[in-house]
A and B are shown apart, each in its own frame.
Chain A
Amino acid sequence: MDSHIRFWFSRRKWVLVAVGLPVLIGAWWAFRPEKLWINQKVNEPAPFASSTDPQPLYTGRLEGKAHQTSGRATIYKTADGKEYLRLTDFSTSNGPDVHVLLARSDDENLKQEIVKGQVDRVELGLLKGNQGDQNYDLPASVDLQKYDAAVIYCERFHAVFGVARLEQF
């Protein structure tokens, strides 16, 4: 009797191992839980030789506020360190005294169409045209971490025509 039990016990153990081990291995293969904390880092170079062309730093899509505005705003850095904002596929409404600004994307003033307070801004100049590709030089040493939005702004009526949130390229 005693040996019978022991026999069963050991046999059950063997069955458990025979069934359990493949199940465990299968589960490990399927879920690869160790990958949750093992990272695989890569660092491939750009697919083309880096050149002397201006490099994009930040980019974003313009969204219309007071007037329908569309296109892309991108901040480039030239080989000699100058930065400029370039608008492409750009289209907005024409208007009086329209300016291009850099502002803070979290500025409460920009959430309204008509600004009541003061926008914390970097002035880039009068809008050159309400359609088409155009460049605006940035003053030296603008904190682009802080001023992370390009704004098309009508000074006369304090109207926000459009805002582009700039994100790292």
Chain B
Amino acid sequence: MDCKIRTVLAIAALAFTFGMQPPAHAQDSNAKTLETGTFHGKVHTTSGRATIYQEKDGRLILRLTNFKTSNGPDVHVILIAAADADDDANFLKSNTERVELGKLKGNEGDQNYAIPSGTDLSKFQTVSIYCERFNANFGAAPLEKF
């Protein structure tokens, strides 16, 4: 009986200890800043900053800050294998390699996008706000080492 109580207590103590541990996330406080750049855009005025962070577990995240562009249909965030993008409407007619990061979450404000693991950042050097439907580059941010 006494043994049983002790076991229960031990389990409770263990559960308490693990339950009290800070979430692993808290240790990621100092994510590394890898690259940064500012947007320029002609087709639609686009401004703000794009920064790539690396979390402690290695995941890459693109963060847009002070960001502003035009709203539009089917707008995506992509990384392109180019040093920069022209402020040209039809810049992706050629077969520019790209990495899709997802639909633009909002045309204004701070936002994060996960970058697929294994993306070669030395190759994909520019962020583009890209309107899929009209093959239009709303704005581009060439990234440079932070």
Chain A interface (Cβ < 8 Å from any Cβ of B): 29-32, 35-36, 38-51, 53, 56, 59, 61, 72, 74, 88-89, 167-169
Residues of chain B contacted by A168 (CB below 8 angstroms): 49, 66
Residues of chain A contacted by B70 (CB below 8 angstroms): 35-36
Partner of B111, one of A42, A48, A51: A42
Structural contact, A47 and B36, CB atoms closer than 8 A: no
Smallest Cβ-Cβ distance to A168: which chain B residue: B66
In the complex, the number of residue pairs spanning A and B with C-beta atoms less than 8 Å apart equals 84
Residues of chain A contacted by B105 (CB below 8 angstroms): 40, 42, 44
Question: Within the complex, what minimum Cβ distance (angstroms) separates A30 from chain B?
Answer: 7
Residues of chain A contacted by B111 (CB below 8 angstroms): 42, 44
Residues of chain B contacted by A50 (CB below 8 angstroms): 29
| Cα of A35 to Cα of B106 in the assembled complex, Å | 11
13 A-B pairs besides A36-B70, A40-B105, A43-B109 with CB distance below 8 A are: A32-B73, A40-B106, A40-B107, A41-B109, A42-B105, A43-B110, A47-B53, A48-B29, A50-B29, A56-B33, A72-B145, A168-B66, A169-B65
Structural contact, A53 and B29, CB atoms closer than 8 A: yes
12 contacts between A and B (CB under 8 A): A30-B73, A38-B71, A39-B71, A39-B106, A41-B109, A43-B109, A43-B110, A46-B53, A46-B110, A49-B28, A51-B30, A61-B144
Those 3 A-B pairs whose CB atoms lie nearest each other, nearest first: A42-B106, A51-B29, A35-B71
Residues of chain A contacted by B26 (CB below 8 angstroms): 49
Q: Beta-carbon contacts of B53-95 to A below 8 Å, as 1s and 0s?
A: 1010000010101100011110000000000000000000000
Smallest Cβ-Cβ distance to B68: which chain A residue: A39
